[in-house]
Structure 1
Amino acid sequence: MKPVFDENGLAMQAGDIRCFYYDAVTMEYAGWSDEYINAGVSMPGNSTDIDPGEMVAGKVFLFMGTGWRQDEDHRGETVYATADTSSSTVDYIGPVRKGYTTVAPSGPYQKWDGKKWITDTDAQHAADVEAADQKKAALLAEAQEKISLWQTELQLGIISDEDKESLIAWVQFIKAVQAIDTSSAPNINWPAKPE
């Protein structure tokens, strides 16, 4: 027999009842148990006898005081800020907040067009040019280091014919690298280093 409650929520008649529990803070469904309620006692705290119904994947039941409402539950999912692609983990109940998406950007140079991520060609080109500038500087530094001893030997007139040929090859390499226009990155044909 089911208990009968008065206007204060106290059982006037004892009985068995299924209690559906909810979290005191989030109000989300927390499970159920069958309880025996004695006369003069109320239902356990944060519970109701209203059945929330069948669970749906990706949703959570929230108790609204007089019944249950289903809401989206993305907690634990990674979302991405559409302004800067930064990621964070959802820690709230409800739909994904405005300015975020669950769709991951497909690469480092992405921007949100309102519906999907697209490649930010300007940012990608700027990064390619910067990488080409760094490679150019590294190649020139390596070449300068390679020829420094030979230049000294040349000035002193003690350079061998073989080293002189190497010096000429490396100086030609330096000229070819200096002529590279990095603004065409990533489509650059870098000269081969001398043997």
Structure 2
Amino acid sequence: FMINYYYDNTNDLKPFTHQLEANDDTLPPDNALRIAPTFKEGYCPCEQDGKWILIEDNREKTVYNIATKESVKIDYIGPINRDFTQLEPFEFCKWNGEKWVLDEEQKNTFTIKLNQSKLANLLSDANNEIEILNDKIELEIATDDDKKLLKKWKLYRIQLKSIDINKLDIELPVKP
């Protein structure tokens, strides 16, 4: 018995789609061959000039845009587009033309911004504590412990202000 091996003739590569039994006394349709395609892992049989050829098939694989690091699922037959890679990016990386490599400048910039944010939060905490203790002194309800604590918070705030926030490794003083 004969089999028609159909291909998608709306696609430029004309990939195999399915097979059906054929009548012995008919010709194959325009979008079918009567030659069985070869199947191979990672490839898709495609019709070309009346024969089957194997084309790389990466459909459903996840790839990453080398400019944006965005992940996408491949939905086309053929090699992976040159602006994408199967190598998964990591934090603070950049594409060097072959692989993802650590971007020291990006990492350092992030670390400095993180340190600046931490320091700003600690200064805000110190300012709030100092303000409350100053209110107690102004209202004459502060205890001797409050007065000692105020000095400690002021010293802590001075220590925070003396930190070079453009350094990568900063050492934060202990809160009072």
Calculate the TM-score normalised by the size of structure 1: 0.82
Match of 2:173 in 1: 191
Match of 1:164 in 2: 147
**Displacement after TM superposition at 1:178 (Å):** 1.2
- Counterpart CA distance in 2 for 1:191 and 1:58 is 58
For residue 112 of structure 1, the aligned residue among 67, 92, 95 is 95
For residue 20 of structure 2, the aligned residue among 12, 26, 33 is 33
Return 5+ residue gaps in structure 2 as ranges: none
- Counterpart CA distance in 1 for 2:74 and 2:165 is 42
- Counterpart CA distance in 2 for 1:121 and 1:140 is 28
- Counterpart CA distance in 2 for 1:19 and 1:158 is 97
Q: Percent identity over the alignment?
A: 28
Calculate the TM-score normalised by the size of structure 2: 0.90
**Displacement after TM superposition at 1:182 (Å):** 1.9
Match of 1:6 in 2: none
Match of 1:141 in 2: 124
**Displacement after TM superposition at 1:32 (Å):** 2.2
**Displacement after TM superposition at 1:152 (Å):** 2.2
How large is the RMSD of aligned CA atoms in angstroms?
1.7
Match of 1:121 in 2: 104
Amino acid across the alignment from 2:37: P
Match of 1:50 in 2: 35
Are the counterparts in 2 of residues 112 and 118 from structure 1 also a CA contact under 8 Å? yes
Amino acid across the alignment from 2:117: Q
Write the deviation string for residues 32-73 of structure 1: whole angstroms up to 9, x where unpaired.
Answer: 2332234xx4324521112212x1111111111311111111
> Does residue 1:151 correspond to 2:134, yes or no?
yes
Return 5+ residue gaps in structure 1 as ranges: 1-15
Are the counterparts in 2 of residues 21 and 48 from structure 1 also a CA contact under 8 Å? yes
- Counterpart CA distance in 1 for 2:68 and 2:20 is 46
